Structure 1
Amino acid sequence: MHASLSMRWLRCVVAAACVVLAPQLYAQSVALTFDDGPNLGATPRLSPQERNAAMLAALAKHRIKAALFVTAGYGADRPEGWRLARAWGQAGHVIGNHTMTHPDLDSEQVSLAQYQREVLYCDRLIATLPGYRKWFRFTYLREGNTQEKRDGMRIFLRQLGYRNAYVTLDTSDWRLNDKLVEVLEKNPQAGDAELEPIRQAYLGHIRQRALAYRALAQRLQGRDIPQVLLLHHNLINALWLDDLIRQFKQMGWSITTPADAYADPVYQLMPDRAAPGQSLLLSMGRSLGLSTADLGIRLMDDGDAEIEALKAQGL
């Protein structure tokens, strides 16, 4: 094994050993983070301002501090969107960087220099917001299709003083959001009963991912880690974020802050593979040579099972 990789995974072993000495420190917790906001795109049922207010209200109801990763070109580069982002910072949530226009660093058409400019342009805008932290979330959770891009971004972020705002609990809430919007566009008057299958699919999908990523963390680290959940600034979370938070509590999970989650040593790891990405846990597993079959395809699909089940119900 490569020497640097050996040292990194030695740290994993040491961290895992700590749980034997102090297991009470590692009860399962989850931090909530939201990408692609604030999004000024039109949706049925709620305006951008109403969606933003609904998510903030659900977080406030449960006294949760979260993080919003701003894709500035989706609205924060306009006064009305900037005000929505400011509301997150004023409520005590972290404001992080998610580029200007959400390009894919894995694309051959996106150069390292272009991607770095996207980060810098977004930084200039969000640096004016309360709650601003130098946290960067890779778009699509992809860190580049070449080692040059991967290493170039790691050096770039370090020079700027940015942390890689990893996700461990990746979800496809965006796919179920697309289905929700599709149903409402066809039937704007759809009531709670008509939408209930989508709500159940959303909650079931995130529960399945949460349990699977918890099991993967235990497998790779020998302990529970504070999970960082990826959600999006969209309609489905505006409608049912309160239900999701209550589900986590019913599962016995506690809600932590992103800052407290990132204090765990697991988030200092840098998986040593040519093109890491997706959940940090998946990237760690691949660094150890685990295959897709070893890791579980349900952690890598885009909510396919839930979408197929909804189609079977006529949605």
Structure 2
Amino acid sequence: MKAKALLGTWIGLLFCVFAESKEIALTFDDAPLPGSSLMSGEEKTHRIIQGLQGQQVDDALFFVTTGNIQDEQGAQRIKAYTRAGFHLGHHSHRHMSLNKSSSSDYLQDFDQSHSILQGYNNVLKLHRFPFLHYGETKEKRDQIKIGLEEYEYQIGYVTVDNFDWYLNSKLLEAVNNKQTINYDNLKKVYVDTIWRSIEFYDQIATQYLKKEVKHVLLLHENELAALFIGDLVAHIKSKGWKIISPSKAFTDPVLAKYHTSLNFNKQGRVAALAHFEGAEKALLRSEMENTQYLDDLLKRNDVFK
């Protein structure tokens, strides 16, 4: 009887652990980004797929900038993601900033990208604003919201922002300058900064929204993802988090409720809602989103020589 009782206790504890696992979905912007002197575009796509599958990630979402599809190779890279079972989202055609363009120009660009995406499978009707620029005025945000609704699109928001794009630019700069690169230390910096960003925005959700939310991680379809996405996913899992499908993440009842009165969208949906609840902007931006901080971090870790 004691053995059965003990077994029941352990089962109950395990159930609680799994029931309370924090959840996060993986999304990649700007696909298909061009190749570089480090690796071709085709190799990059192959390595990202391989890294995700190696960690048993069943679904991820690639937000396509259709203007980046410049030839059949680019088209095949996008199709490779869908053949692997992943999904596509809408990230404009020319990667325009809505804060620097008119609503009519932006929606014209949106329509062009929407038409191109009709030629691909596994497309979700989710639009992610380039630069996370939702429009600098409420009037413009209202106009775009109506425009997206006419196409039956929802906003593909993020909850965890980070500067993976900046770290990637420093990597490519080092490659082009023929510097020596310590890839083990680079991996540590990449994984650690993104993980700390996840913790930062999760803490904001807990503090200001008083809820456990389904997070959406913003990454880019770049060389760092190709090199280290498997390591990043393994680290996230080691912290007790669960990787979920983007489709599931975007059903979060707290985060899915968008209104155009939200005027601080650059840091993602959690920060936008926290600001709406009264949080100061300065408290809603992680130190990992500071180029000087990242330069110092790369230097301290002897990544480039």
Shorter-chain TM-score range: 0.7 to 0.9
Aligned to 1:298: 287
Kindly indicate whether the alpha-carbon contact (under 8 Å) linking 2:213 and 2:255 is maintained by their aligned counterparts in 1. no
Aligned to 1:263: 251
Aligned to 2:297: 309
SS of aligned partner of 2:231? helix
Among 27, 32, 35, the residue aligned to 2:26:
32
Q: CA deviation at 1:314?
A: 7.4
SS of aligned partner of 2:296? helix
> Structure 1 residues 274, 222: CA separation in 2 closer, same or farther (over 3 Å shift)?
closer
Question: How many Å separate the matches in 1 of 2:245 and 2:172?
Answer: 30
Kindly indicate whether the alpha-carbon contact (under 8 Å) linking 2:208 and 2:277 is maintained by their aligned counterparts in 1. no
Give the letter aligned to residue 220 of structure 2: H
SS of aligned partner of 2:26? strand
> Structure 1 residues 23, 147: CA separation in 2 closer, same or farther (over 3 Å shift)?
farther
SS of aligned partner of 2:254? helix
Among 204, 217, 238, the residue aligned to 2:205:
217
Aligned to 1:68: 62
Whether 2:30 is the aligned partner of 1:42: answer no
> Structure 1 residues 278, 269: CA separation in 2 closer, same or farther (over 3 Å shift)?
same
Give the letter aligned to residue 248 of structure 1: I
Question: How many Å separate the matches in 2 of 1:73 and 1:139?
Answer: 13
Among 130, 133, 136, the residue aligned to 2:127:
136
Range with bigger deviation, 113-122 or 303-312: 303-312
Q: CA deviation at 1:297?
A: 4.7
Kindly indicate whether the alpha-carbon contact (under 8 Å) linking 2:160 and 2:267 is maintained by their aligned counterparts in 1. no
Kindly indicate whether the alpha-carbon contact (under 8 Å) linking 1:140 and 1:278 is maintained by their aligned counterparts in 2. no
Kindly indicate whether the alpha-carbon contact (under 8 Å) linking 1:26 and 1:223 is maintained by their aligned counterparts in 2. no
Question: How many Å separate the matches in 2 of 1:258 and 1:245?
Answer: 15
Question: How many Å separate the matches in 2 of 1:303 and 1:245?
Answer: 24
* Equivalence map 1:142-291=2 (5 Å): 142-187=133-178, 190=180, 194-271=182-259, 272-274=261-263, 276-291=265-280
> Structure 1 residues 176, 102: CA separation in 2 closer, same or farther (over 3 Å shift)?
same
- Which of the pair has more CA radius of gyration? 2
Give the letter aligned to residue 252 of structure 1: G
Question: How many Å separate the matches in 2 of 1:120 and 1:23?
Answer: 45
Question: How many Å separate the matches in 2 of 1:230 and 1:297?
Answer: 14
TM-score by length of 2: 0.88
* Equivalence map 1:81-160=2 (5 Å): 81-107=74-100, 110-160=101-151
SS of aligned partner of 1:170? coil
Aligned identity (percent) is 27
TM-score by length of 1: 0.85
Q: CA deviation at 1:90?
A: 1.5
Aligned to 2:49: 56
Q: Which runs of 4+ in 1 moved over 6 A?
A: none
Q: CA deviation at 1:139?
A: 0.5
Question: How many Å separate the matches in 2 of 1:274 and 1:217?
Answer: 17
SS of aligned partner of 1:231? strand
Kindly indicate whether the alpha-carbon contact (under 8 Å) linking 1:26 and 1:226 is maintained by their aligned counterparts in 2. no
Question: How many Å separate the matches in 2 of 1:196 and 1:111?
Answer: 45
Q: Which runs of 5+ in 2 are unaligned?
A: 1-15
> Structure 1 residues 311, 230: CA separation in 2 closer, same or farther (over 3 Å shift)?
same
> Structure 1 residues 295, 276: CA separation in 2 closer, same or farther (over 3 Å shift)?
closer
Kindly indicate whether the alpha-carbon contact (under 8 Å) linking 1:150 and 1:274 is maintained by their aligned counterparts in 2. no
